[in-house]
Amino acid sequence: MQIDPRIWVLLPFLVSTIDALRILVLFPVNAKSHSILGQGVVTHLLKAGHEVVHITSYPRVKKEANLTEIDVGYIGQPPKHLAEKMDQFKIKNLVGKGNIADSTFFLQFLYDYNKRFLEDEKIVKLLSDPKEHYDVVVLEWFFSELVAGIAPLFQCPLVWVATTEAHAHVLRVIDEIPNPAYSVDLFSTSRPPLSFTERVTSLWGIVKKMVLGSLMFEPDQRDIYNNVFPPIAAKRGVTVPPYDEAIYNASLLLINSHPSIGTPFRLPQNAKYIAGYHVDSQPQPLPKELQKLMDESKQGVIYFSMGSNLKSVEMSDEMKKSLLDVFSKLKETVIWKFEEDMEKPLNVHFVKWAPQQSILAHPNCKLFITHGGQLSTTEAIHYGIPVIGVPVLGDQHINMKSVVEKGFGVKLDLAEDLADNLKGALYEVLHNPSYKIKAKEISQIFHDRTMAPGDELVFWIEHVVKTQGALHLRSPALHVPLYQKLFLDLLACIVIALVTLYYLLCFLLKKIRSKKPVKESKKKVK
C-alpha cells in the first residue's frame, strides 16, 4: 500500500494538535465588567473545542454545549460589617475624592470576598469531588493569590488572567517587582518619565503595598489557605504545597492590556498581552430602536456611560441637571446610560442598559464620554473613538492619563462643576480633528498583531498544557531574593574586606611606628 506523501507535510500538525481539554475557568468577582472578561475567555476556549466549567457571578442566558456554569453571584453580597462602607462607592460620594481603590479597605474587601468564596459549600463540594479533573485552571488574578491553591488540587498548571494593565502587584507573582523609577502602579496618576517627587511616590507605593500590605494581610491569607486547602486535598487523595510555593507557581499570566492602551511594560516570557479578546469580532446587532436612532443622527452620536458599577442616577440632582443642560445645546444626539427616567431634552436618550460595543461600532458614533475603565478604554481604542474621560477610581485615572498623553482624549475631574468643564471639553474634542486622527492611529496599532488576541489566549493556554506547565517560560528572577538582586551580599563582602584592610593597615602602621623609636635610639647610641 502506498502512503500518500502529503502525510509528511501534515505530520507536524498532527503531532502538535491536542485533544479537547477540560478547563476550569474562575472569574467569581461580582462585577459585570469582570464577568464580561470571564465570559470572553470561555467563549474562545469553547470555540477551540474545549470543555469548560465556569465559576461566575453572571451566567449566560442560554445553555451551551461543553459548558457547565456555576453561579456564585450570591457570594458577592458584602457582609454586614462591609456593606455599610459600600456607600462610599456611589458617584455622589466619590466627588472630589482621591482614588478610593488605592486603600487598604479595598484589599480587605477582596480578601474577605476570597475567604467567603473558598469556604462556600458549593465551591468546597466541587473542589472536593474526586471525579472532577481538569487539564488546566484559568483563574482571575484580582489582588489576592489565595485561589492559587486550586491548581495543585487538580495537579494541573495554573494560568492567571489579570483584568487590567500590568503592575507590580501582579508581576511579582510570576517575575519580580518592576523598578518603580519607571514602572508605575495601577492606581497611580502619573506615567513615566517620572519627576523626582513622582519617583519617590512610586517607590513609597511599592513599600506601602508590598511591605506593609503583606505584613497586614499575609498572615490571614496563609491561615485561610491552610484551613481551606489541605482538607479538600485529603478528600481528593493529594497534598497541596505550602502557600508560598503555590502562589508563585503560575505557568502563564494573560494580561488584559496592550502597549497601545497603557504603558509598555517589560514583561517576562510567560506574560502575554491579550486585550481586545472580549470584543466581538462582529458587533452584535443593535436593538431596533437604537439602530434607527443612530442611523438617523446625521450630526453624530455622543455616547455617555459611567460603566456598569457606577450609576449615573446616583449623581447629585444638580450634577444631572447641569449635564442635561449642556447636552441640550448640542446638535449631536446623546445616548446616556442612565438607570431611571427624568425630564430631558429632545436630543438626549436614556438607556438603562447599553450594548456598548455595538454603539461604539456604529459609524455615526463620534465621541465616548467614559469613566475610563479598562474595558471602555479598550473598546474605544478598538473602534477608534475619541474620548472624554471622567475617571473615578481604580485604574481609571492612569488609563485616562494615558489617553490624554496619547492624544485621543481629554480628562475631566469628577467635581460638582463637571458640566462647566464638559462644555469646553466637548467643543475641543468635537471641533479639533486631531483627536479623531489619533484615535484611528492608536486603533491601527492595537489591531496590528501577529495573532488575534482571542487566538493568542487559546494558543498559550494550550501551549501550557502541551508542555506540562511551560517551565521553560518562567522568569529566572522569580526566586532570586531581593538582597541578591541588589547585590547586597557583594556589598557586604566589599565592606568587610575594606574594614579588614583598614584594621590590617592600622595594625601594621602601629607596628612600624612602635619599632621606629628603637632604631632611632640605636642610631643615637652610635
Ligand X SMILES: *[C@@H]1O[C@H](CO)[C@@H](O)[C@H](O)[C@H]1NC(C)=O
Question: Which residues lie across from 447 on neighbouring strands?
Answer: none
Interacting residues with ligand X (CB under 6 A)? 152, 157, 241, 245-246, 249, 251, 469
Nearer CB in complex with ligand X: 372/469 = 469
Alpha helices in 448-487 (DSSP H): 453-466, 482-485
| Residue number, nearest CB to ligand X | 469
Half-sphere exposure of 202 (CA within 13 A, CB side): 23
DSSP H or E stretch at residue 418: helix 418-431
- For the CB of residue 219, give the shortest distance to ligand X in the complex, in Å: 21
- For the CB of residue 461, give the shortest distance to ligand X in the complex, in Å: 13
Nearer CB in complex with ligand X: 64/245 = 245
Nearer CB in complex with ligand X: 309/475 = 475
Nearer CB in complex with ligand X: 117/134 = 134
Residue 374 Cα to chain centre, angstroms: 8
**Can you say whether residue 469 is alpha, beta or left, with left for phi > 0 and alpha for psi between -120 and 50 degrees?**
left
Nearer CB in complex with ligand X: 227/468 = 468
Nearer CB in complex with ligand X: 152/262 = 152
- H, E, C per residue of 240-282: CCCHHHHHCCCCEEEECCCCCCCCCCCCCCCEEECCCCCCCCC
- For the CB of residue 502, give the shortest distance to ligand X in the complex, in Å: 47
- For the CB of residue 510, give the shortest distance to ligand X in the complex, in Å: 57
Name the strands in the sheet holding 67-71, side by side, starting at the edge strand that comes first in the sequence: 67-71, 51-56, 22-27, 136-141, 158-162, 252-255, 271-273
Nearer CB in complex with ligand X: 10/238 = 238
Nearer CB in complex with ligand X: 239/434 = 239
User: Which residues 6+ apart lie within 8 Å of 486 measured at CB?
Assistant: none
301 neighbors 201 (Cβ within 8 angstroms)? no
The single residue listed with the C-alpha cell 503531532 is: 15
Angle CA 222–227–231, to nearest 5: 135
SS3 (DSSP) at 512: helix
270 neighbors 252 (Cβ within 8 angstroms)? yes
- For the CB of residue 264, give the shortest distance to ligand X in the complex, in Å: 29
What letter does residue 347 receive in the DSSP assignment?
A: T
- For the CB of residue 244, give the shortest distance to ligand X in the complex, in Å: 10
Phi, psi at residue 362, to the nearest 5°? -70, 135
